Amino acid sequence: MSDKKLRILLGDDHAVLRAGLRVLLNLEEDIEVVGEAADGEEVVEMVEKILPDLVLLDLTMPKLSGLECIERILEKHPTTKILVLTMHDDEEYMKAVIRAGGKGYVLKKAADVELLSAIRMVSRGELYVYPPMAAAMLYQMVGPQTPGIKEKKEKGLSEREREVLKYLALGHTNHDIAELLHISVKTVETYKTRVMEKLDLRKRAELVRYAMENGIING
Give the pLDDT confidence of 85-107 residue by residue, as tens digits. Answer: 998 887 788 888 888 999 989 88
Give one word for 104, left, alpha or beta, with left for phi > 0 and alpha for psi -120 to 50: beta
In this prediction, what percent of the chain has a pLDDT beyond 70?
85
Distance CA 52, CA 37 (A): 12
What integer pLDDT is reported at residue 142 of this predicted model?
A: 46
**Which listed CATH number (3.90.1170.40, 1.20.1440.230, 1.10.10.10, 3.30.365.10) goes with 149-213?**
1.10.10.10
Lowest mean pLDDT among 31-35, 116-120, 178-182: 178-182
Which residues on adjacent β-strands are paired with residue 104?
A: 83, 128
pLDDT per residue as tens digits for the range 19-68: 999 999 999 999 999 999 999 999 999 999 999 999 999 998 888 889 99
183 has a pLDDT exceeding 60: yes
What integer pLDDT is reported at residue 68 of this predicted model?
A: 92
User: Mean pLDDT across the stretch 184-190?
Assistant: 89
| Domain parsing of the chain, residue ranges | 6-141, 149-213
Lowest mean pLDDT among 9-18, 170-179, 207-216: 207-216
Please state the pTM of the whole predicted model.
Answer: 0.66
Decide if domain 6-141 falls under CATH 3.90.226.10.
no
Cβ pair 130, 112 in contact under 8 A? no
For CA atoms 59, 60, 63, 65, give the dihedral sign.
Answer: positive
